[in-house]
Chains A and B, each alone.
Chain A
Amino acid sequence: MNIKNMIEKLELDEVTNLSNDIEFENVYIGDLLSVVMSNAKENSIWITIQTHLNIVAVADLIDIAGIIIVEDMEVDKDTIEKANELEIPILTTDKSAYEIACGIYKLEN
């Protein structure tokens, strides 16, 4: 599925300024970065409530396609800057991880 398409359908807000024309193959939900690092697969959309710069480092390390920050969390400025630089889209929403995951599932099926 395409990130650009998902942004429209799920009404996500973009905090990065990127083309978002990226295909993703999987979805992973998690907030404990060490667990995400060992379990998330590359080209995944990662759903989390974490907003610290460390999420961009983790996403870079495992080649995450894009990050969705849920529950209306405010994203740190450093995080956005680095994500733009490394071209990792960060999207936000006031919905919960469960609602977003269900939304993506519906889009795929």
Chain B
Amino acid sequence: MKELSLHILDITTNSINAGANKIEIKVEIDTNENYFRINIKDNGKGISKNIQQQVMNPFYTTRKIRNVGLGIPLLKAAAEQCEGFLKIQSVENVGTEVIAEFKNSHIDRAPLGKIEESILTILNFNEKFDLIYIHDVNGKRFVFDTREIKEILGEVDIKTPKILMWIKEYIRENIDKI
């Protein structure tokens, strides 16, 4: 995909479909160690051992309407093309963690892109869940946590258009500041 933020959106959708109510997305960029790492961790229903290998295969999907599922395979191929890897750690009924690592300076590594747009799309899903986004560049961190936002908002719905627009700008501004 043109932007890694679209991969993040895709993988996070799997977490929501797995019934997660807490999702943590971490983007870590280290220019000294030269890696760009994406880590998506959820507390969804998890993936059984024998299916963990199958999800790497593009012909595996839980959907019934078509026989192709490309979320994980596309991210895996993108990472491997940039001298990186993709790893899945999952325990049934506990949760799943997807780690994709790229060589940061690799010429084919797509830019992160508009991560704030991906987060907004995720927040707009109907299911109830908390989302934590951590953006770390060489140890300098920005943390966005919907639990904190919800506490401030009280009765006000996080999906109110004005709030969402504010969140989008807030995330962008803070990432740009790092």
Contact = CB atoms under 8 A, between A and B. Distances in A.
22 contacts: A32-B2, A33-B70, A33-B74, A34-B1, A34-B2, A34-B6, A34-B74, A35-B2, A37-B70, A52-B77, A53-B57, A53-B58, A54-B58, A56-B58, A57-B58, A57-B68, A57-B70, A57-B73, A58-B68, A60-B68, A61-B66, A82-B59
B160 interface: no
A58 B57 CA distance: 12
Contacts of B17: none
B50 interface: no
Interface of A: 32-35, 37, 52-54, 56-58, 60-61, 82
Contacts of A53: 57-58, 73
A29 B176 CA distance: 35
B67 interface: yes
Contacts of A34: 1-2, 6, 74
Nearest to B66: A61
Interface string B54-86: 000111000000111010011001000000000
Given A54-B58, A54-B70, 15 more contacts: A33-B70, A34-B2, A35-B2, A37-B70, A53-B58, A54-B74, A54-B77, A56-B58, A57-B58, A57-B70, A57-B73, A60-B67, A60-B68, A61-B68, A61-B70
Interface of B: 1-2, 6, 57-59, 66-68, 70, 73-74, 77
A34 to B, nearest CB: 4
A64 to B, nearest CB: 12
The 6 closest A-B pairs by CB, nearest first: A57-B58, A34-B1, A57-B68, A61-B68, A54-B58, A52-B77
Contacts of A52: 77
B53 to A, nearest CB: 13
Contacts of B66: 61
B1 A32 contact: yes
A34 B73 CA distance: 12
A58 B2 CA distance: 16
Contacts of A82: 59
